[in-house]
């Protein structure tokens, strides 16, 4: 017997390497429910369904799974209302260049006369004139399945576009009648080879690379600053090799990954504003917001940007100085740049350049140590810096860290790529906990830690996240830093009005209006309600012991745990 379109669709996902089908089921998913129910009878292989009780959790888990594996996953949510709840997660995926095959259901097209046509009152009120319009600005491609005869072409095209550089989410809307119908005789079965595949990533223009190499070679303090290059783990060792060979220092510009080894003697650290003040030739790698003009502009003679979309054309306003822009994957740029540096004679002065870079990096490391020592000596309530140092001291060697706000990066060094992940610059709150669950699913033998601010934790729909942790056997350790409010809101007010009344209230020990969230819930009980262990700590002397106990729960008992840390920002 030929399958239904729903069965063909699921089988096609599995055939194309989609391991997980993250789903918030609804009235529109009836054909998929039936497909899974009769999978033993049909003998067809489908992706593992991952039930989610909130749309943000589903999209965030798919995001996290891709971060670790590099393979895009599929998400299906309930018609217009589910798609609406998913927009924040898709915004994060779009800005982080994370490919997700988003396949929302659609209210049945017909009022009757077709398998799967309308049978519930909500199917009239939930319909929109243009359901995909709410997310069209965030996806690279969107379409609707009209008939099962070309379901294989549409899935292949969607996946190819999602994986084409710059990568990002795509949307294929699935009406219920189309899924419920038998696969037409005109559609190929068994499944054919892919109709389309993603193109190879762009290679850099040789003339532009030569211009960049000359600028770096002639500079006294050349520097490379990274934001998203570490999304490709292979670039980390290649960048370190280039740095060592030619004496070019490397730093982070609010990096979302490990882009360069923290212990490397040529590492400039994480305060890129100080780098802007000295570097006389600058190369930014996959940096969507390379600097904030109010905090400092680069003094370099040449400012270059490299990435798959170095102008970030989907950002309506982005006026950062760009003397040279190179469209390329970083993996292809680095060997080309190394060759160009060699060709222009950069090795002749490499020793002198390296000595200056080593001294510069040493100065910045000393400054970072001084800041850490000052925090330790200050004592008092647990700070972000102290929390980060305690987590680093207790972190298992295999652990992955997913950070949404509380990490003081200079106190959490990583040398290996693929172990540290940060929220996208869009900062759609609630990303970190779901992304950590997806990362745990992708790396079941690793310890995964989600470090969240209190606001980020609340926005993650914690009851749904803890439920997913228990339901799918994902023993993530969640560390929530609770400073009683939205620090970003308060900081924004004091930056805009440094002499204002809100700033005065903060200086006096209070909080700015609209930022205080107290009294906050006892977060530990969320984890306990879903079979996990909950801990609460407010004293510096107790922190490391509590963290070690929590790590034992997730590693030995294979249960989720949450550590609620109360402190100051």
**Band of the pLDDT at 341, cuts 50, 70, 90?**
very high
Question: Are the CB atoms for 208 and 324 separated by under 8 Å?
Answer: yes
Beta-carbon contacts of 330 under 8 Å, excluding residues fewer than 6 positions away, are 229, 232, 235, 239, 285, 286, 306, 307
DSSP 81: H
- Which tens digit of pLDDT belongs to each residue from 241-279? 999 999 999 999 999 999 999 999 999 999 999 999 999
At residue 200, the pLDDT reads: 95
pLDDT-wise least confident of 240-254, 327-341, 479-493: 479-493
Mean pLDDT of 347-362: 98
Selection from 70, 72, 74, 91 nearest residue 24 by Cα: 74
Is 457 in a helix, a strand, or coil? helix
Which residue from 434, 400, 446, 430 is spatially nearest to 22, judged by alpha carbons?
434
Q: Which of 365, 383, 185 is nearest to 268 (CA)?
A: 365
* 92-134 pLDDT tens trace: 999 999 999 999 999 999 999 999 999 999 999 999 999 999 9
CB 35 within 8 A of CB 88: no
CB 186 within 8 A of CB 149: yes
Torsion of the alpha carbons at 404, 76, 91 and 228, rounded to the nearest 10: 60
In angstroms, the CA 494 to CA 239 distance is 38
pLDDT tens sequence across 199-233: 999 999 999 999 999 999 999 999 999 999 999 99
User: How many other C-beta atoms are found inside a 10 Å radius of the C-beta of residue 518?
Assistant: 10
> Is 569's pLDDT higher than 80?
no
pLDDT at site 484: 86
**516 DSSP assignment:** B
Return the beta strands (E) in 146-286 as ranges: 170-175, 222-226, 249-252, 281-285
Cα 249 from Cα 262, distance rounded (Å)? 12
Residue 22 and residue 52 in contact, taking contact as beta carbons nearer than 8 Å: yes
Q: Give the predicted TM-score (pTM) of the model.
A: 0.97
Contact 260, 240 (CB under 8 A): yes
> Residue 143 corresponds to which tokens in the numbers above?
């379409």
Is the pLDDT at 392 greater than 90? The verdict is: yes
Check residue 221 and give its pLDDT.
Answer: 98
Give the whole-number percent of the chain exceeding pLDDT 90.
Answer: 97
Tokens of 116: 């799967």
For 70, phi then psi, to 5°, come to: 75, 15
pLDDT value at position 135? 96
Angle 380-405-503 from CA coordinates, rounded to 5°: 65
pLDDT of 445: 97
Domains and CATH numbers, the chain: 5-180 (3.40.50.970), 206-366 (3.40.50.1220), 379-484+520-566 (3.40.50.970)
Other C-beta atoms closer than 10 Å to the C-beta of 43 total 7
Residues 27-73 pLDDT 10s:
999 999 999 999 999 999 999 999 999 999 999 999 999 999 999 99
What is the arithmetic mean of pLDDT over 472-487? 94
């Amino acid at each position: 017997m030929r399958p239904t379109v729903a069965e063909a669709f699921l089988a096609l996902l599995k055939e194309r390497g989609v391991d997980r089908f993250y789903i918030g089921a609804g009235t529109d998913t009836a054909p998929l429910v039936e497909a899974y129910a009769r999978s033993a009878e049909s003998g067809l292989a489908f992706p593992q369904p991952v039930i989610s009780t909130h749309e943000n959790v589903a999209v965030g888990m798919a995001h996290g799974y891709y971060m670790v594996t590099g393979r895009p996953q599929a998400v299906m949510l309930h018609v217009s209302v589910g798609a609406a709840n998913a927009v924040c997660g898709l915004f994060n995926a779009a800005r982080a260049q994370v490919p997700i095959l988003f396949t929302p259901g659609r209210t049945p097209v017909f009022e009757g006369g077709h398998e799967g046509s309308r049978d519930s009152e909500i199917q009239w009120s939930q319909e929109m004139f243009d359901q995909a319009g709410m997310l069209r600005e965030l996806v690279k491609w969107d379409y609707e399945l009209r008939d099962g005869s070309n379901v294989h072409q549409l899935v292949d095209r969607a996946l190819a576009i999602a994986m084409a550089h710059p990568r990002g989410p795509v949307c294929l809307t699935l009406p219920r009648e189309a899924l419920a119908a038998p696969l037409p005789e005109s559609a190929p079965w068994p499944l054919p080879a892919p109709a389309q595949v993603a193109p190879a990533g762009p290679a850099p223009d040789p003339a532009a690379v030569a211009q960049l190499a000359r600028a770096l070679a002639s500079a006294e303090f050349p520097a490379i600053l990274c934001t998203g290059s570490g999304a490709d783990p292979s670039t980390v060792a290649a960048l370190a090799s280039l740095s060592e060979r030619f004496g070019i220092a490397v730093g982070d510009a609010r990096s979302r990954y490990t882009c360069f080894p923290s212990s490397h003697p040529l590492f400039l650290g994480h305060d890129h504003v100080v780098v802007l003040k000295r570097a006389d030739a600058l190369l930014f790698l996959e940096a969507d917001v390379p600097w904030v003009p109010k905090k400092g502009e680069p003094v370099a003679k040449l400012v270059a940007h490299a990435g798959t979309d170095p102008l970030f054309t989907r950002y309506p306003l982005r006026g950062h100085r760009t003397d040279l822009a190179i469209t390329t994957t970083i993996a292809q740029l680095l060997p080309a740049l190394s060759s160009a540096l060699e060709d222009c004679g950069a090795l002749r002065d490499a020793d002198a350049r390296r000595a200056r870079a080593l001294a510069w990096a040493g100065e910045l490391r000393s400054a970072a140590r001084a800041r850490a020592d000052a925090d330790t000596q200050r004592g008092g309530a647990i700070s972000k810096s102290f929390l980060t140092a305690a987590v680093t001291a207790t972190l298992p060697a295999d652990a992955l860290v997913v950070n949404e706000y509380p990490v003081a990066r200079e106190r959490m060094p990583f040398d290996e790529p693929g172990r540290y992940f940060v929220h996208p610059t869009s900062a759609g709150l609630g990303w970190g906990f779901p992304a950590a669950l997806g990362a745990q699913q992708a790396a079941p033998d690793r310890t995964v830690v989600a470090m969240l601010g209190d606001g980020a934790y609340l926005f993650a729909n914690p009851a749904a996240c803890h439920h997913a942790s228990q339901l799918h056997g994902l023993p993530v350790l969640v560390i929530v830093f609770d400073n009683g409010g939205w620090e970003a809101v308060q900081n924004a007010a004091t930056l805009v009005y440094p002499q204002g009344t809100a700033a005065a209230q903060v200086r006096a020990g209070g909080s700015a209006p609209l930022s205080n969230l107290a009294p906050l819930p006892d977060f530990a009980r969320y984890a306990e309600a879903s079979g996990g262990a909950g801990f609460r700590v407010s004293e510096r002397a107790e922190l490391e012991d509590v963290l070690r106990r929590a790590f034992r729960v997730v590693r030995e008992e294979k249960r989720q745990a949450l550590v609620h840390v109360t402190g100051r920002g």
